[in-house]
Structures are given as structure tokens and as C-alpha cells.
Amino acid sequence: MLALRADHAAARDALHEHVELDVPPLAELVTRLGIFEVATQATTFAEHLARPDLGRRLSDAAMEQLATSCPSPVDVQFLIGDGLSSAAVRTQVPVLLPMLIEAATDRGLRVGRPFLVRNCRVGVLNDVGARRESLGVSGLASTARRHR
């Protein structure tokens, strides 16, 4: 029972912490890859929790920013989701994203400029894919998991 409570507390803590792009190790990656941020239709974190449907759709401002900041068409578009575990983003994205981009470009695929989506749900991938000229969209985020 104590392990369950500890896992639950860790998950709650992870959920309420947000991704900060201006701190290491993400800051260097942001500069190197030109990562920028957009938001979903969920305008606050509370709304993100209460209205999952809004976290699955990009805001109008986000769509305008993607149109001006991301080249089209592309074969693969990577996005970073801020809505699950910021700890996972901090530890996994700086390692995985460059490897994924390199693997895709080595295979001749055109890779879009990566971006962060605030207050997002996994379903935002469908919205991005439907609105962007890309063959595939992949999101990088993870739920918190306590290792024993």
C-alpha cells in the first residue's frame, strides 16, 4: 500500500510540474534546433485537466505560428508535449530528439522544425498531422514512472 501511495504522489508531482525550456539541458537543445512553443486550446493547466478535448487541439495562434515558423511539406514532424511529465521531457528529449532527427535525415526524410506544445494531450498529434503537410507526426513525452 505504501508503494502505491508513493507512486501516486510521484505521478501527481510530475503532472503539476511544467517544462521549462530555458534551463539545462533543454536550453542548449532549444538554441541548437530552434525549438519554439505553441499552445493548445486549453488556455490554463486547470482547463487542460478539466477539458481533455481542448488539449487535443492546437489554438488558432499556434496554427498561425506553425504556418510561419515551420517549413512545409515535411515527411516527419516532431513535437514535445508539456502536459504529462516534465521530468521525462528534461531527461529523455535532449537524448532522443537529436537521435531521431539524425536517423530520419539519414534516411532522406524531410524533418520539420521541432516545437513544444503547452497543455497538450496525446490527441494533439492527430490535430498537428491533419493540419500539417507531413507523412508522420511523433510526440516526445512520457508519464512519470518510479524505478525500484
How is the chain split into domains, by residue range? 2-140
On whether the CB atoms of residues 85 and 14 are closer than 8 A, the answer is yes
Give the β-pairing of 115-118 and 74-82: parallel
Nearest to 134 by CA among 119, 113, 117: 113
What SS3 state is found at 25?
coil
Which of 1.10.1040.10, 3.40.50.11240, 3.10.290.10, 1.10.1740.10 is the CATH number of 2-140?
3.40.50.11240
What is the rounded distance in angstroms from the CA atom of residue 87 to the CA atom of residue 17? 8
pLDDT tens digits, one per residue of 31-52: 999 999 999 999 988 898 899 9
pLDDT at 147: 34
Tens place of pLDDT per residue across the chain (148 aa): 666 665 544 455 455 566 777 788 889 999 999 999 999 999 988 898 899 999 999 999 999 999 899 877 888 889 998 876 778 888 889 999 999 999 999 999 999 999 999 998 988 988 888 877 666 777 765 333 333 3
Nearest to 128 by CA among 140, 142, 145, 146: 140
User: What letter does residue 40 receive in the DSSP assignment?
Assistant: B
For residue 64, the surrounding DSSP H or E stretch is: helix 60-69
C-alpha cell at 93: 528529449
